[in-house]
């Protein structure tokens, strides 16, 4: 099997906000469904704050939690103390899960540090500009291109309209 690809799965406002006070500043059920579909059966890498924000290990996926705290424990999750260890554990789990992808699910600190490793970014762009204290990093247009965009009106239980957008790294030949 080839090396699994590293995908990012994120919902962000038009102002790049992804969180406020350790929660997402909107309720968009359509995004939660998409999150489930994109992460199902895969190893997921997340920061300790994101794990605590979710509040539990999500079923049908393996959770790898990154923290600097050597005493940190969470039942059902793999705890690691560096991003290198997180990616190594995720690769190992991808083999046993027969998954060809590893999902990085945030938050801001983790997205920023792993951006150079990402093979694909799945963004749910929430059409709102909420206040927040966690941001998704800027994507350098010289490095990343928008591959697809699909606009959606707010469905039932969605606070806002949104778009599903995918970014991929520009082919190395295109990078100046
Ligand atoms: N909208 C979305 O799609 C989405 C997705 C995920 C999260 N969020 C939001 O984002 C916010 C959380 O993001 P955040 O940036 O504040 O936190 P985070 O990235 O979830 O977690 C940060 C924590 O991860 C650990 N960490 C980070 N880099 C590390 C490294 N290199 N080695 C070891 N440990 C490391 C540290 O834990 P210790 O402090 O324990 O050492 C750090 O405090 C919340 O508001 C959440 O709701 C939104």
- Domains of the chain (ranges; CATH) run 1-21+40-139 (3.40.430.10)
How many whole angstroms separate alpha carbon 19 and alpha carbon 17? 6
Determine phi and psi for 112, rounding to 5 degrees.
-60, -45
Q: How far is the CA of 108 from the centre of ligand 1 (A)?
A: 6
* pLDDT tens by residue, 142-160: 999 999 999 999 999 999 9
Burial 69-84 (b: 16+ CB within 10 A, else e): eeeeeeeebbbbeebe
Q: Whose CA is nearest to atom 40 of ligand 1?
A: 67
Q: Which tens digit of pLDDT belongs to each residue from 58-84?
A: 999 999 999 999 999 999 999 999 999
| Ligand 1 neighbour 105 (Cβ under 6 A) | yes
> Mean of the pLDDT values across residues 20-39?
97
pLDDT, one tens digit per residue, over 99-118 is 999 999 999 999 999 999 99
What the block records as the tokens of 78 is 């793999």
Contact 113, 140 (CB under 8 A): no
How many Å lie between the centroid of ligand 1 and the Cα of residue 50? 5
Question: Residue 101: phi, psi to the nearest 5?
Answer: -140, 150
DSSP percent split of the chain into helix, strand, coil, nearest 5 = 25, 35, 40
In angstroms and rounded to an integer, the radius of gyration of the C-alpha atoms of the chain is 16
For residues 110 and 104, the answer to whether their CB atoms sit within 8 Å is yes
Ligand 1 centre and the CA of 111: distance in Å?
A: 8
- Verify whether ligand 1 is closer than 6 Å to residue 109 (CB atom): yes
Report whether residue 69 contacts ligand 1, using a CB cutoff of 6 Å.
yes
Pocket lining: 81 vs ligand 1, CB cutoff 6 Å: yes
Distance 107 CA to ligand 1 centre (A): 4
Q: Is the pTM of this model over 0.85?
A: yes
């Amino acid at each position: 099997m080839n090396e699994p690809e590293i995908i990012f799965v994120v919902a962000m406002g038009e102002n790049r906000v992804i969180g406020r006070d350790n929660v997402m500043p909107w309720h968009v059920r359509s995004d939660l469904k998409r999150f489930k579909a994109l992460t199902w059966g895969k190893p997921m890498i997340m920061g300790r704050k994101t794990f605590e924000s979710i509040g539990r290990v999500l079923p049908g996926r393996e959770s790898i939690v990154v923290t600097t705290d050597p005493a940190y424990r969470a039942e059902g999750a793999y705890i690691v103390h560096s991003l290198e260890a997180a990616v190594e554990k995720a690769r190992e789990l991808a083999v046993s899960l027969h998954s060809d992808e590893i999902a990085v699910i945030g938050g801001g600190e983790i997205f920023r540090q792993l951006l150079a490793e990402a093979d694909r970014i799945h963004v749910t762009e929430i059409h709102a500009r909420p206040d927040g204290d966690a941001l998704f990093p800027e994507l350098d247009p010289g490095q990343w291109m928008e591959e697809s965009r699909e606009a959606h009106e707010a469905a039932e239980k969605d606070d806002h309209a949104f778009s599903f957008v995918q970014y991929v790294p520009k082919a190395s030949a295109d990078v100046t």
